[in-house]
Amino acid sequence: MKFCSRCMYPSMAATPLTFDDKGVCSGCRVAGQKKVIDWKGRFQMLKKLTDEYRAKNNYDILIPVSGGKDSYYQAHIASKELGLKVLLVTYHGNNYLPEGEYNLARMRELFDCDHIVVKPGVDVLIKMNRIGFKLQGDMNWHNHCGIFTVPIQEAVRHKVPLMMWGEHGFMDMGGMYSYSDFVEFTAKTRLEHGLRGYDWHDFTDEGLEKLGRSELKEGLRPKDLLWAQYPPDEEIASVGVRGIYLSNYLDWDGTKNAELVTKLYGWRAAQQPFERTYRSFSNLDDMHENGIHDYLKFVKFGYGRASDHASKDIRAGVMTREKGIEMVRKYDHVKPRRDLERWLKYVNMTEEEFDAICDTFRDPRAWRIEGGQWVKDDIWGGSSAYGPVHLKCPQRAKFMREENYGRTKK
Amino acid sequence: MLKKRLIPVLLLQNGMLVRSEAFSIHQIIGNPIIEVQRFNQWNVDELIYLDISRSDDYDLRREDGKVRGLKDPLVILEEVSKTCFMPLTWGGRIRTIDDMRQRFLRGADKITINTAAVETPELITQAAKIFGSQAVVVCIDAKRYEGGSPEVFIDGGRTATGMSPEGWAKKAEGFGAGEILLQSIDRDGMGNGYDLGMIRSVSEAVSIPVIALGGIGAYGQYADGIKAGASAAAAANIWHFKELSDMGGKRALSKSGVNIRM
């Protein structure tokens, strides 16, 4: 395992990275571009672009929001700085923190806008949690799907061609594109990076059968997942829907966004600390996002949200790498008790079952088995054991050191 | 009159698709299959797939997605062919007739060679005899130094050959190449438009079709390449930036008066 020499990203990351000859990752390299961009000029470009979409008798812009710090910032820019008539659209996955609910509810008081909140039936969501977890080690798949589908559905339905997202996650974390690309939202980004290639139909009985995973069927039908169905190209083309990222036009900084909207609008961070990260102002729209969902990232790839947050803070120059490593040591491996217990109850599953399924998603690029324990390389050097193995014998083979993953010896 | 073509180029590096700048900076933008699915839905004219890997490690980096277990370029080609119903040109790391055969067997409609063509031009003739000229595309990578004239490079832009692109293109045509894929190294990923002078001189030197590649940063620039003499306008990075990029490119071409299949 290799780690970026500037931030802390591992070579085996959920966001695919490349490294330069100095061992600096593509995420750091692209973040470095932000220092030389003419942001005043970029803001003028944004003004010009949004002006072209001002409507006589419709919304000027649609903003997908969760109610988080970045949502407030997007709404602030669109409504207050640009003077646009805003339509807010939210996917509600049923797991908001109370602070998140409070922030979300206040948006229509603060930003002179209408707000559509789509809340799928809870029974369907619970089933989606279970299938997502067992099929791809991500119980929050429904969340990614809802967030990347509902706003486009509403844009088509209300004929609002311009959508404004916040930051491009994979570009920000992994350096997927450059700032000169002015990358926009695409169905491909949704399917491949948001949803890992799976779509809503894979969760229906028929879809699971096609995947050869009949044992995961929960009785879901296409009409249970209407909120998850991406509009066809023709509909998108006829309205001319496009989704720009605000991070291409403004010097985006999550920490500064949080400070600004707290000061201007009384936006609230989480009152109770998270179990797996030191930040309290991220992911209030879903309590499991920093909990079980993120623990599964550690299970798969051997790193977690503390690595993400600290890497962002290191790139922004507000944290040293040493301090970042301290955060990783403290948080990355934590099994979130409070969050896990809530979730197991929510989906009616035992912890034994949970642990056994988790282990089927360990990636041999990150993990090996030594003495019945899961072992991985650490950013501070050497390697450590991170708990007992729950896999059955034949499944263990690919994690044993001798025949470890990577180059096959010929 | 034959319609002009608009062609996406996908760059495969060690198992993942990448965005490229000046042949030296590469950023991972996704797995080798899902983008092809989109091109197929759009009914794209044609697809060029170039394997620019410099080592034998092909890895998807994760196995929790729907696309899994692709660790071999030929298996990747097989998967691409299953997904892709448009004409497919495959290039990169092809050295022998057998390499070509392996790729045709797995669904490539044309192959493109670059370094091997310069090192062994007879390979072009041999390939044209066996597979037909129309299936043999010679890829030319050329670099233009400030104010100078372009020079042909091989080995992924690392080795100079001393040849001019138009001189080499003419020779390649003589050896039996059916098409020239003309790529500018210095304009790769810059977004400032094609090297029009180079496209003009190569198009004038040969009577086979020339595909222009390298430098597109806006759809409006495609037409310049066609007007400079290219039969097809190709690009890599820009296809990944915006939704419905095929339609966007074709609309711009059509608006500029280029005869294109919409």
Q: What are phi and psi of B13, to 5 degrees?
A: -130, 115
Say yes or no: A240 contacts chain B, CB-CB below 8 A.
Answer: no
Angle between helices A321-331 and A305-315 in degrees, nearest 10: 170
Backbone φ, ψ for residue A272 (5° rounding): -95, 135
CB contacts, 8 Å: B242 with chain A: 183-184, 186, 242
Contact A198 B67 (CB under 8 A): no
Query: Are A214 and A131 in contact, with CB atoms under 8 Å apart?
Result: no
CA distance A246 to A27: 18
Burial group, residue A347, by CB count within 10 angstroms (0-12, 13-18, 19+): middle
Q: Please indicate if any CB of chain B lies within 8 Å of the CB of A236.
A: yes
Query: In a 3-state reduction of DSSP, which class is residue A90?
Result: strand
Which residue type does B14 have?
N
Per-residue confidence of chain A (410 residues) as pLDDT tens digits? Answer: 899 999 999 998 888 899 988 999 999 999 999 999 999 999 999 999 999 999 999 999 999 999 999 999 999 999 999 999 999 999 999 999 999 999 999 999 999 999 999 999 999 999 999 999 999 999 999 999 999 999 999 999 999 999 999 999 999 999 999 999 999 999 999 999 999 999 999 999 999 999 999 999 999 999 999 999 999 999 999 999 999 999 999 999 999 999 999 999 999 999 999 999 999 999 999 999 999 999 999 999 999 999 999 999 999 999 999 999 999 999 999 999 999 999 999 999 999 999 999 999 999 999 999 999 999 999 999 999 999 999 998 999 999 975 444 444 33
Q: Given this model, what pLDDT does residue B52 score?
A: 98
- The rounded percent of chain B whose pLDDT value lies above 90 is 96
**Which of A31, A106, A34 lies closest to A65 in space, CA to CA?**
A106
> Using a CB-CB distance cutoff of 8 angstroms, which residues of chain B are in contact with residue A243?
243
Tell me whether residues A178 and B21 touch, CB distance under 8 A.
Answer: yes
B110 neighbors B136 (Cβ within 8 angstroms): yes
Judge: B242–A186 Cβ closer than 8 Å, yes or no. Answer: yes
Whether chain B has a CB inside 8 Å of the CB on A301: the answer is yes
Between CA A368 and CA A388 the distance in angstroms is 12
CB A93 within 8 A of CB A142: yes
Q: How confident is the model at residue B7 (pLDDT cuts 50, 70, 90)?
A: very high
- The Cα A76–Cα A83 span in angstroms is 9
Specify whether the CB–CB gap between A216 and A198 falls below 8 A. Answer: no
The DSSP secondary structure of A12-49, one letter per residue, reads S-SS---B-TTS-BHHHHHHHHGGGS-HHHHHHHHHHH
pLDDT of residue A402: 59
Coil, strand, or helix at residue A215?
Answer: helix
pLDDT tens string B96-131? 999 999 999 999 999 999 999 999 999 999 999 999
Question: What span, in angstroms and rounded, lies between the C-alpha atoms of A152 and A91?
Answer: 11
Specify the amino acid at residue A259: E
CB-based contact, B64 to chain A, within 8 Å: yes
8 Å CB contact of A183 and B240: yes
Polymer length of chain B: 262
Integer Cα distance of A50 and A7 in angstroms: 35
ipTM score:
0.95
The nearest CA of chain B is from the CA of A17 a distance in Å of 6
Q: Are A249 and A44 in contact (CB under 8 A)?
A: no
Residues of B in contact with A185 (CB under 8 A): 243
Name the closest residue on chain A to residue B28, using Cα atoms: A176
Tell me the C-alpha distance between A69 and B1, whole Å.
Answer: 57
- The pLDDT, as a whole number, for residue A409 is 37
Tokens representing A265?
């609008």
How far are the Cα atoms of A36, A248, A251 from residue A41, in angstroms, in the given order? 12, 11, 11
Contact between A215 and A244 under an 8 Å Cβ cutoff? The reply is no
> pLDDT of B144-201, one tens digit each?
988 899 999 999 999 999 999 999 999 999 999 999 999 999 999 999 999 999 999 9
Question: Distance between alpha carbon A71 and the CA centroid of its chain, in Å?
Answer: 14
Q: Do A202 and B66 touch (CB under 8 A)?
A: yes
pLDDT at B211 exceeding the cut of 70: yes
| Phi, psi at B223, each rounded to 5° | -60, -30
Residues B27-61 pLDDT 10s: 999 999 999 999 999 999 999 999 999 999 999 99
Count helices and strands (H / E) in chain B: 9, 12
Least Cα distance to A241 among A118, A178, A157 occurs for: A157
Report the pLDDT value the prediction gives residue A408, as an integer from 0 to 100.
40
At residue B241, φ and ψ (nearest 5 deg) are -90, -35
- Cα–Cα dist B116/A157, whole Å: 54
B73-79: long-range pairs with CB below 8 Å, 24+: B73/B12, B74/B102, B74/B103, B74/B106, B76/B12, B76/B15, B76/B32, B77/B49, B77/B103, B77/B106, B77/B107, B77/B108, B78/B106, B78/B107, B79/B32, B79/B33
CA distance B131 to B98: 12
Segment B4-16 shows an average pLDDT of: 98
How far apart (Å, rounded) are the C-alpha atoms in residues B159 and B168?
15
Neighbours of A200 (CB within 10 A): 22
In angstroms, rounded to a whole number, what is the distance separating the alpha carbons of residues A293 and A283? 11
Tokens 């692109």, residue? B165
